[in-house]
Chains A and B, each alone.
Chain A
Amino acid sequence: MEKDRLVLIKNVSKEFDGVEVLSNINLYIKRNEFVTLLGPSGCGKTTLLRLLGGFEAPTSGDILFEGKSIVDVPPYKRRLNTVFQRYALFPHYDVFDNVAFGLKIKKLPKDEIKKKVGEKLALVGLSGYEKRSVDTLSGGQMQRVAIARALVNEPELLLLDEPLGALDLKFRKEMQLELKRMQKQLGITFVYVTHDQEEALSMSDTIAVMDSGRILQIGTPQDIYNEPINSFVADFIGESNIIPGIMKEDYLVHFSDKDFRCVDRGYNNDDPIMVVVRPEDVKLVPPTENTINGVVTSIVFMGVHYEIRLVDDRGFEWLIQSIHSADVGSRLGIHLEPDDIHIMDRSQYDSIG
């Protein structure tokens, strides 16, 4: 167990001018794992990445790399490389010299440098671009050069700081798949920072959801999507309906004036909780006594599905994704299976009592 751990972050806190931006972070990163730090801007995810890269030092706590503390190791001695947010390509070098930078520092023989740079440029699909000046490249090409420049050093760990942030949507999807492919092919551990939940869900082995300098939840994409620990995580990872409720007993929850069977247990009877229902899990049926009933207020065609808004009799607006259309103004019922109901503790994120 311990042996697979490439990086161990222990009780790390970081302050800037007395303001705490990271508080008591604990996280381990396994070898060959794709870990994503996910959170809104200002949550501390980039600072955590910079601590790993060595550009900042933690105020307290320790960071171990293969069991040894690297807190005092300068960036140039760390066996990791970074893909910077805005690429940070050297404007005075061409593509070849940018990618070759790390190898020239290591004073590798010329023909070996040439071979390795050629390989990595082929990997990112930029063969033949060696002599191009970097400011003639498109955003996507610059991104690829930045990735090749990092990978050519064969790092144990690759840090990526919102690498796809500046690319347009279609290209981003392509690069997501490519990055995942490269990670598998090269067997390198990735730590990936993003605020895009879709990106996090589709690429990661493990996601750490962060907010206000804390890690709120660590888990697989499935864990985090299906069992968010609180309403912040639920809301951040995809859209959801979050309703206050009461846990009546094991497997029985009360919300929206009705009792529902659920799959959760272990709460005290009558504990106040929050219920999360994903929009795609809601089934619309003709209204009955056992369904939550309301009126459809809007419907938008999204391509794969319709996005329907329904205001129930208590005034709560449900977001529903359905492949079936519905008429605005029609009265419908909401049917939920026990599996579709996710129970979370109430936390500081829930303002509703």
Chain B
Amino acid sequence: MNKRKYIAAPYLVWMVIFTVIPLLLILFYAFITRAESGALILTDKYIKSALSGSSMSVLLLSMEYALITTVLCLLLAYPAALFLWQLKSRIGSIVNLLFMLPMWMNFLLRTYAWRAILDSNGPLNKLLQTLGLGSHRMLYTEGAVLFGLVYNFLPFMLLPIYTSFTKIDNSLVQAAEDLGANRWQTLLRVVFPLTKPGIITGITMVFMPAVSTFVISRLLGGSQTMMFGDLLENNFMLLKDWNTGSALAIVMMIMMLLSMALVRKSDDDLIPGGG
């Protein structure tokens, strides 16, 4: 008898109640409808409306935003992680802590703070006016939404990449130098391939939630930018149309699974194998 498997029991119960059953419910709402006779029958009308042109364009926009956010986060986080890694370990962990500090505060609060900062009468515009650069509309623009996304998701990119840097055996870097590689060649041929798992994790942890986010776009983008998360929320909370909402959720899940499979696939192709 293996008693150790019971240790996982609480988690298993949790998974069934809060993940498996809701998933089944979503499937139920998306594909089952009540016929006029009162019997439950299979239908594809909700999926069809979820795949309509208007919701697809919202999904595309969301994925575009999420993609831009992921790329920007990667471009910011990778050099930062490289910099942190080269600091002495004690200083490195302090600076790392500073990077992580904003995460200690709820992201809603932080996003509300940015609303105030970016407001037409906010401190940033006051500063610009004082400098003679004039006032600009910053809140409720695409730029504000992207900024909010990058700002909120950057730590999720930085942390896994930094962790993968700290796992690199320093003797590998020295071996590369010993074999004639200068700093740039060492970075390209040894450090970058070894930090790739961190990059993949980072992309996953930024892209997935960025596609489905709705608060950031609503708070910073107003009604100008509708993201897929907003569409979902509207269906459930505003229109009380749980069926279409569930169908939209399924469409989004499939899109995310596909894009993650794509990331993993391209990773396999990128790993330098033969000569």
In this complex, which of B178, B181, B190, B275 has the most chain A Cβ atoms within 10 angstroms of its Cβ? Answer: B178
Question: What is the CB-to-nearest-CB distance from A156 to chain B, in angstroms, rounded to a whole number?
Answer: 13
Q: Chain A 86-110 against B: per-residue CB contact (8 Å), 1 yes, 0 no? A: 1011111110110011101110001
Contact A153 B179 (CB under 8 A): yes
Contact A106 B172 (CB under 8 A): no
Q: How many Å lie between the Cα of A141 and that of B154 in the bound state?
A: 43
Q: Does B68 contact A (CB under 8 A)?
A: no
Q: Does A14 contact B (CB under 8 A)?
A: no
Q: How many Å lie between the Cα of A54 and that of B176 in the bound state?
A: 13
Contact A81 B274 (CB under 8 A): no
Contact B180 A92 (CB under 8 A): no
Question: What is the CB-to-nearest-CB distance from A13 to chain B, in angstroms, rounded to a whole number?
Answer: 22
Chain B contact residues, majority secondary structure = helix
Q: Does A39 contact B (CB under 8 A)?
A: no
Number of A-B contacts (CB under 8 A): 75
Nearest residue (CB) in A for B194 is A92
Given A76-B177, A76-B178, A106-B180: A86 and B171 interface contact (C-beta under 8 Å): yes
Q: Does B273 contact A (CB under 8 A)?
A: yes
Kindly list chain B residues whose C-beta atoms are within 8 Å of the C-beta of A96: 274-275
Question: What is the CB-to-nearest-CB distance from B274 to chain A, in angstroms, rounded to a whole number?
Answer: 7
Contact B174 A55 (CB under 8 A): yes
Contact A84 B174 (CB under 8 A): yes
Q: Does A229 contact B (CB under 8 A)?
A: no
Query: Which of B172, B181, B194, B271 is the one whose CB lies under 8 Å from A76?
Result: B181
Contact A92 B178 (CB under 8 A): no
Q: Chain B 160-204 against A: per-residue CB contact (8 Å), 1 yes, 0 no? A: 000000000101101111111110010001100110000000000
Question: What is the CB-to-nearest-CB distance from B268 to chain A, in angstroms, rounded to a whole number?
Answer: 12
Q: How many residues of A contact B (CB 8 A)?
A: 34
Given A88-B171, A90-B172, A90-B190: A97 and B272 interface contact (C-beta under 8 Å): yes
Kindly list chain B residues whose C-beta atoms are within 8 Å of the C-beta of A67: none
Nearest residue (CB) in B for A97 is B275
Contact B185 A105 (CB under 8 A): yes
Q: Does A131 contact B (CB under 8 A)?
A: yes
Nearest residue (CB) in A for B171 is A88
Q: How many Å lie between the Cα of A341 and that of B199 in the bound state?
A: 67
Q: Does A82 contact B (CB under 8 A)?
A: yes
Kindly list chain B residues whose C-beta atoms are within 8 Å of the C-beta of A53: 174, 178
Q: How many Å lie between the Cα of A100 and that of B274 in the bound state?
A: 11
Query: Which of B169, B175, B176, B274 is the one whose CB lies under 8 Å from A131?
Result: B274
Contact A92 B193 (CB under 8 A): yes
Q: Does A75 contact B (CB under 8 A)?
A: yes
Q: Does A125 contact B (CB under 8 A)?
A: no
Contact A75 B194 (CB under 8 A): no
Nearest residue (CB) in B for A75 is B177
Contact A88 B172 (CB under 8 A): yes
Q: How many Å lie between the Cα of A93 and that of B193 in the bound state?
A: 10
Contact B180 A153 (CB under 8 A): yes
Q: Chain B 248-275 against A: per-residue CB contact (8 Å), 1 yes, 0 no? A: 0000000000000000000000011111
Contact B178 A82 (CB under 8 A): yes
Contact A101 B179 (CB under 8 A): yes
Kindly list chain B residues whose C-beta atoms are within 8 Å of the C-beta of A86: 171
**B: which residues have CB within 8 A of A?**
169, 171-172, 174-182, 185, 189-190, 193-194, 271-275
Closest 6 CB pairs of A and B: A102-B179, A88-B171, A88-B175, A75-B177, A92-B193, A105-B180
7 A–B contacts from the bound complex (CB under 8 Å) = A88-B174, A92-B271, A97-B275, A101-B176, A105-B181, A113-B275, A150-B179
